[in-house]
Amino acid sequence: MKLRLILGDQLSLSVASLTDATKEDLILMCEVRQEATYVKHHKKKIVFLFSGMRHFAQTLVSQGFNVHYVAYDDPKNTGSLRDEVARLTDVYDISEVIVTAPGEYRLLAEMKQWSDALSLPVTIRPDDRFLCTTDKFAAWAKDRKQLRMEHFYREMRRKHAVLMSDDGPIGGKWNYDADNRKSPPQNLKVPDPFQADVDDITQDVIALVAEHFPDHFGDIYPFHFAVTRGAALQALDMFVDERLRLFGDYQDAMVQDEPWMFHSHIGLYLNCGFLTPLECITRAEAAFHDGSAPLNAVEGFVRQILGWREYVRGIYWLKMPNYKAMNVLEAKRPLPEFYWTADTQMNCMRQCITETKQNAYAHHIQRLMVLGNFALIAGLAPAQVNDWYLLVYADAYEWVELPNVSGMILFADGGLLASKPYAASGAYIHKMSNYCESCRYNPSVKNGPKACPFNYLYWDFIDRNAAKLRGNPRMGFAYKGLDRMTDEKRSAIRADTERFFNEIEAYEKG
């Protein structure tokens, strides 16, 4: 008998390890402590994954498969994937273990040792639920001086014939980013997010998570994520019908108390395997062709999935394991306590952290230009920032989280992923949100106790990293600004920065 191990982010009937499964095989799924706690994942993320796994196991059983499911609180659960496999090999006559490659280097490296440890053939199949294989990405990257997403994206558009006409990209342009930066108007009406039913299985998991993970970050309630493929497809439909039309216009916008905006909220479903990237792209493309969504929205959405998602995965597998240790800017400040408590007077940070805590979700610009921008300009240590992002979001897995954090927000890879650091002062947040209206700081004030901290922290970042960043052609404007500053102005920036961190430290020490 073959043993087929299905991991928590492999909840797809089409996953490589199931393609040739027979009713005689044994399918193993387990909720293990090792994976749930190596970082203390958000409670809602654990509920989502355990409930999704239990529902997926039911689907397999309903199709006649022989499933061995190990619940987290099963007294025999050893807490590790390998030991759970070993436990079954003691009971059944297993000829081979088959698994699809996990999305994390650490676990893949461990699985490569399993064959010796278990004295059994262990076959690790490539995960083919992506549109670009890791080999194809490596071939694309080979001999290129710069690995720019835009170039990769155009090739993917051509290869998969997405939004293409005979003459090139539909509409004549590859990229409508410039149209996708509208500030939010007053009284913008945002539709409610998808609300899945909470059934008995999810209720049981909620009770289990409340009991076993009380010290993990985040709120369990309200819980409305889809936990089956069917419900995830409904969430996708709802996005296309209600939000996609304005996805482009307000892609970068942030509004007080509106965590969901016009984003799709499907990242967690794509990453756990409920949805495939191609079906999301096809659905959005159809909305363009039937006239229900404009090109700037559909192209913007397609670029995220066909471009960014595939690209960051390619970078991860191309550059690991060294990528994780990179810290080119030598940032070392510890993560402030307010990333856990939201107890800060910076309203933008307070909003984004509070929403993260409530929803295990923040949209891209909150992650990038508020939480990430602060981490960059404050010089927070990459390892701590990565741990935070990996555990707080329901869609976070290392293959996608790490390049976004170390590459896109922290510039810790020295510009492999982003051509320049995404550093910005308070003016950006003021333009793209209404957060500043409810803040004790003022985005127009540059120095002193009333000044928006993003203003002096931005210039302190530019000044502090001059030796490393001055030569970057895209940073010329910033360094011209710095060079025009008087010595007094530079001293004021340094003094404000020092005062700001002293105040945080004193506050955190009580």
Ligand X SMILES: Cc1cc2nc3c(=O)[nH]c(=O)nc-3n(C[C@H](O)[C@H](O)[C@H](O)COP(=O)(O)OP(=O)(O)OC[C@H]3O[C@@H](n4cnc5c(N)ncnc54)[C@H](O)[C@@H]3O)c2cc1C
Q: Which of 348, 377, 378, 412 binds ligand SF4 (CB under 6 A)?
A: 348
Residue 182 as a binder of ligand X (CB under 6 A): the answer is: no
Rounded to an integer, what distance in angstroms lies between the CA atom of residue 414 and that of residue 412? 5
**Beta carbon of residue 401, minimum distance to ligand X (angstroms, whole number):** 3
Rounded to an integer, what distance in angstroms lies between the CA atom of residue 264 and that of residue 92? 44
Q: At what angle do helices 134-141 and 149-159 cross, to 10 degrees?
A: 120
Q: Which of 280, 315, 331, 452 binds ligand SF4 (CB under 6 A)?
A: 452
Q: Are 19 and 123 in contact (CB under 8 A)?
A: no
For residue 86, is it left (φ>0), alpha (ψ between -120 and 50) or beta?
Answer: alpha
Number of residues that bind ligand SF4 (CB under 6 A): 14
- Tokens representing 194 are 């998808």
Residues 221-280 close enough to bind ligand X by CB under 6 A = 263-267, 270-271
**Beta carbon of residue 254, minimum distance to ligand SF4 (angstroms, whole number):** 10
Residue 368 as a binder of ligand X (CB under 6 A): the answer is: yes
Q: Which of 344, 465, 364, 459 is nearest to 412 (CA)?
A: 465
Residue 392 as a binder of ligand X (CB under 6 A): the answer is: no
Nearer to ligand SF4, 12 or 347 (CB): 347
Q: Which of 436, 469, 492, 504 binds ligand SF4 (CB under 6 A)?
A: 436
Binding partner at 395 among ligand X, ligand SF4, none, C-beta below 5 to 8 Å by kind? ligand X
Q: Are 386 and 402 in contact (CB under 8 A)?
A: yes
Binding partner at 453 among ligand X, ligand SF4, none, C-beta below 5 to 8 Å by kind? ligand SF4
Residue owning tokens 């002062």: 425
Q: At what angle do helices 43-62 and 200-212 cross, to 10 degrees?
A: 140
Residue type at position 284:
A
Residue 346 as a binder of ligand SF4 (CB under 6 A): the answer is: yes
Residue owning tokens 């044994």: 26
Number of residues that bind ligand X (CB under 6 A): 28
What distance separates the 2 farthest-apart alpha carbons in the chain? 77
Kindly report the CA angle at 349 between 344 and 351, in degrees rounded to 5?
100
Residue 479, C-beta contacts closer than 8 angstroms, at least 6 positions apart: 462, 466, 469, 470
Nearer to ligand SF4, 150 or 498 (CB): 498
Nearer to ligand X, 10 or 496 (CB): 10
Buried/exposed code over 14-37 (b: 16+ C-beta within 10 A; e: otherwise) = ebbbbeebeeebbbbbbbbebbbe
**Beta carbon of residue 52, minimum distance to ligand X (angstroms, whole number):** 15
Q: Which of 309, 322, 323, 319 is nearest to 400 (CA)?
A: 309
Residue 283 as a binder of ligand X (CB under 6 A): the answer is: no
Buried/exposed code over 128-155 (b: 16+ C-beta within 10 A; e: otherwise) = ebbbbbbebbeebeeeeeebebeebbbe
3-state secondary structure of 68: strand
Residue 302, C-beta contacts closer than 8 angstroms, at least 6 positions apart: 157, 162, 163, 281, 284, 285
Nearer to ligand X, 260 or 458 (CB): 260
Binding partner at 441 among ligand SF4, ligand X, none, C-beta below 5 to 8 Å by kind? ligand SF4
Alpha-carbon distances, residue 227 vs 150, 199, 234 (angstroms): 33, 10, 11
**Beta carbon of residue 363, minimum distance to ligand X (angstroms, whole number):** 5
Binding partner at 69 among ligand X, ligand SF4, none, C-beta below 5 to 8 Å by kind? none
Residue 309 as a binder of ligand X (CB under 6 A): the answer is: yes
Nearer to ligand X, 4 or 41 (CB): 41
Nearer to ligand SF4, 283 or 430 (CB): 430
Q: Which of 50, 65, 441, 458 binds ligand SF4 (CB under 6 A)?
A: 441
Residue 430 as a binder of ligand SF4 (CB under 6 A): the answer is: yes
Residue 213 as a binder of ligand SF4 (CB under 6 A): the answer is: no
Name the one range near ligand X by CB under 6 A: 28-36, 115-123, 206-214, 404-412: 404-412
Q: Which of 258, 401, 413, 496 binds ligand X (CB under 6 A)?
A: 401
Nearer to ligand SF4, 102 or 443 (CB): 443
Nearer to ligand X, 12 or 264 (CB): 264
- Contacting residues toward ligand X, per CB under 6 A: 263-267, 270-271, 301, 304-305, 308-309, 312, 363-364, 367-368, 372, 389, 393, 395-396, 400-401, 404-405, 408-409
Q: Which residues bind ligand SF4 (CB under 6 A)?
A: 346-348, 426, 429-430, 435-436, 439, 441, 443, 452-454
